[in-house]
């Protein structure tokens, strides 16, 4: 992965300042190293102290991630690291009180539909420049084709799918037409609970970014769900995210957010 230390924090701050106060598994390929203050809603979901998935802070006590990240994992094994650029150090570790996978979450041809999990923290996060709540879209809010988005995470850079990257990474992607996405994944199921993205420069999510954020116009519109890990970032195979607006009522019912 190309590692560029540029003013990405300034670029992201311009995107989020109006919305955020102060500012199959998938990972970021051809992304840019960023500081956590550029994506302060980002968390690392961990099992037994090791990075497993990404996630997003949607209130001081709730995190939204992917259902396939928490299915079958008992609560004592789970924790989140918040407020850190690195998944293995810094910030603070918070234990999990409860996890609630979407009741319709299920495997369809080896792909999760309704790929959402709400994780309740054992104690509230401490808000600051490195830890912020990301606003959510309204129920059933549409997302237009070619909308510019930002996705972030610690997943594989594409070089070694088993190894998360040490530093948080982010990249820009665009929303991909839903019909064309179905054509690009002819043997898979693309439902209305999903959003597809792609880019022209082989950037995007890969192994280890699952559960992480897809953000547009300062709001969390998607959760990293699945993609073709054999060709991470390949524009011929769009990445697929769980569409947050499709389950907005469920989020409010469970987390009162």
Are the C-beta atoms of 206 and 28 separated by less than 8 Å? Answer: yes
DSSP string covering 159-196, please? S-TTS--SB-EEEEEEEEPHHHHHHHSTTS---TTEEE
Q: Strands (DSSP E) along the chain, which ranges?
A: 32-33, 42-47, 50-57, 62-65, 78-82, 92-101, 106-108, 111-113, 117-121, 148-153, 169-176, 194-198, 213-216, 219-226, 239-243
Cα torsion through 222, 226, 232, 234, rounded to 10: -70
Q: How many helices (H) and strands (E) does the chain have?
A: 4, 15
Q: Which of the residues are catalytic?
A: 68, 115, 210
Residue 134 CB-half CA count within 13 A = 33
What is the distance, to the nearest Å, from the Cα of residue 232 to the centroid of all Cα atoms in its chain?
16
> What is the enclosing helix (H) or strand (E) of 70?
helix 67-70
């Amino acid at each position: 992965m190309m590692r560029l230390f540029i003013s990405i924090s300034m670029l992201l701050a311009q995107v989020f300042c109006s919305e955020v106060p102060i500012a199959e598994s998938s990972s970021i390929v051809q992304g840019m190293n960023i500081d956590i203050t550029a994506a302060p809603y980002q968390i690392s979901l961990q099992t037994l102290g090791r990075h497993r998935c990404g996630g997003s802070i949607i209130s001081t006590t709730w995190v939204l991630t992917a259902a396939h990240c928490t299915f079958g994992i008992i609560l004592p094994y789970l924790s989140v690291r918040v407020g850190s650029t690195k998944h293995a150090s810094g910030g603070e570790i918070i234990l999990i009180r409860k996890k609630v996978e979407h009741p319709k979450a299920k495997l369809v041809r080896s792909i999760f539909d309704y790929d959402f999990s709400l994780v309740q923290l054992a104690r509230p996060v401490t808000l600051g420049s490195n830890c912020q709540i990301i606003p959510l879209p309204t129920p059933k809010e549409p997302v237009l084709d070619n909308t510019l988005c930002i996705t972030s995470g610690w997943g594989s850079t594409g070089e070694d799918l088993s190894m998360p990257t040490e530093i948080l990474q982010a990249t820009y992607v665009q929303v991909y037409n839903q019909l064309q996405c179905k054509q690009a994944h002819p043997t898979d199921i693309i439902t209305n609970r999903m959003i597809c993205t792609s880019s022209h420069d082989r950037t995007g999510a890969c192994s280890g970014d699952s559960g992480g954020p897809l953000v547009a116009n300062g709001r969390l519109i998607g959760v990293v769900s699945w993609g073709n890990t054999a060709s991470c970032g390949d524009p011929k195979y769009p990445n697929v995210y769980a569409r947050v607006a499709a389950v907005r009522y469920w989020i409010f019912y469970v987390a009162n957010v």
